[in-house]
Amino acid sequence: MKRSYLFLIIILLSVGRLFAQEWVVPVENAAKRSPFAFKDSIRQAGAALYMTNCKSCHGDPGKNNTVKLVPPPPDPASAQMQKNSDGDMFYKLSMGRGPMPSFKNTLSATDIWRIISFIRSFNDKYVQELAPSLAPGSTLEQVKILISMIKETNQVQVKISSVKDKVRQPVANAEVKLFAKRYFGNLMIDEAHTSDSQGIALFKFPANLPGDSKGFVQLLAKPTDETAFGEAKADTTLAIGVETYRPPLNEQRALWNVVQKTPIWLLLTFIFSVLAVWGLIVYVLLQVRAIYKSGSDNKKE
Ligand code: HEC
């Protein structure tokens, strides 16, 4: 009886390990492709980036000299690494897992693609698929982004299109981020979403996001991929926030405000200190005069 329990536990643990090792990439991320072709210059840039950011753990590609970690970092030339789709790799590099660091804040999307192009150079069966987003020759000015609100579902819709073969067409598979502008910097809304075949990405909008005094929120939508879209972005103000009255920073008495709006306690402390110092000076002068006077009185006597 005891033995069979032990057996069961061992089986459960090893099955658990198998599951734990599977690194599942969401379907929409796995389908992501590089917006630019992997050329020699790109691979060279990728090699340099690999040497500084990855070699310490993943070793020299093809040499199987990776660092001993659990789970082990695979050699870039190995089948385990190469069976990842470009999108899988992009996701895994961006997000990280366990000892594998997340590079989404340290490397730009372009740099991540450069590294992937270098890793692919160790696979002679690899044939690159490009992101279907922008047709060659279409200029960035032709990218149009529209932001609108779907009231019923409380979602913000971002629609991207560009001109391809002289016809305006939706841009599919473009990763987009949505931000609300705040006093200091931008607040990201929901996660990044990828546009569907209609060029549409939907974002959940928080019901309680404070807007201005009339509930207006300034929204900013931006594709994450700077290489393909450059600075393309859209700015729209929609009345979708909660009406919030925020007095301007210089309206009330505060330390950072002008002299006329100093805090009362500061004003009182200041006046009191000035009076105290002058009081002391006057007191000392009076005392000096008293000494002088009593001196001259003594002389007369
Ligand atoms: C601190 C050590 C470390 C560094 C630095 C590091 N990795 Fe990793 N990497 C790992 C480990 C450990 C794993 C296995 C993680 C797992 O399976 O949970 C891994 C897994 C991966 C995978 C997924 C492999 C698979 O099984 O599908 C990819 C792709 C990858 N690394 C690429 C890179 C690239 C490219 C860089 C440099 C930009 C990098 N790593 C930097 C340790 C590292």
Whole-number Å distance, alpha carbon 28 to ligand 1 midpoint, is 21
Report the amino acid identity of residue 176: V
48 touches ligand 1 (CB under 6 Å): no
Q: What was the pLDDT predicted at 77?
A: 93
Whole-number Å distance, alpha carbon 230 to ligand 1 midpoint, is 28
Whole-number Å distance, alpha carbon 60 to ligand 1 midpoint, is 13
81 touches ligand 1 (CB under 6 Å): yes
Q: Do 140 and 230 contact (CB within 8 A), yes or no?
A: yes
Torsion angle (degrees, nearest 10) of CA 85, 86, 88, 90: 170
Lowest mean pLDDT among 12-21, 162-171, 196-205: 12-21
**From residue 24, how far is each of 109, 124, 239 by CA, in Å?**
20, 25, 39
Q: Do 161 and 168 contact (CB within 8 A), yes or no?
A: yes
Whole-number Å distance, alpha carbon 73 to ligand 1 midpoint, is 5
Locus of tokens 């391809």:
164
131 touches ligand 1 (CB under 6 Å): no
Q: What percent of the chain has pLDDT over 70?
A: 88
Find all residues with CB under 8 Å of 185, minimum gap 6, and list them: none
Banded model confidence at residue 152, pLDDT cuts 50, 70, 90: confident
100 touches ligand 1 (CB under 6 Å): yes
Report the amino acid identity of residue 269: T
Burial of 178 (0-12, 13-18, 19+ CB in 10 A): buried
Mean pLDDT, residues 39-61: 93
Q: Which of 43, 42, 46, 228 is nearest to 131 (CA)?
A: 228
Find all residues with CB under 8 Å of 111, minimum gap 6, and list them: 45, 49
Locus of tokens 């990405």:
201
Whether residue 300 is predicted with pLDDT greater than 90 in this model: the reply is no
Count of residues for the chain? Answer: 301
47 touches ligand 1 (CB under 6 Å): no
Give the whole-angstrom CA distance, residue 240 versus residue 207. Answer: 9
Whether residue 285 is predicted with pLDDT greater than 90 in this model: the reply is yes
CB atoms within 10 A of CB 156: 24
Q: Which of 170, 173, 76, 69 is nearest to 131 (CA)?
A: 173
Residue 155 has which token pair? 């979602």
Whole-number Å distance, alpha carbon 97 to ligand 1 midpoint, is 8
58 touches ligand 1 (CB under 6 Å): yes
Whole-number Å distance, alpha carbon 237 to ligand 1 midpoint, is 41
Is the model more confident about 2 or about 213?
213
**From residue 187, how far is each of 182, 215, 288 by CA, in Å?**
7, 16, 67
106 touches ligand 1 (CB under 6 Å): no
Whether residue 137 is predicted with pLDDT greater than 70 in this model: the reply is no
Whether residue 197 is predicted with pLDDT greater than 60 in this model: the reply is yes
Give the whole-angstrom CA distance, residue 273 versus residue 277. Answer: 6
96 touches ligand 1 (CB under 6 Å): no
Banded model confidence at residue 136, pLDDT cuts 50, 70, 90: very low
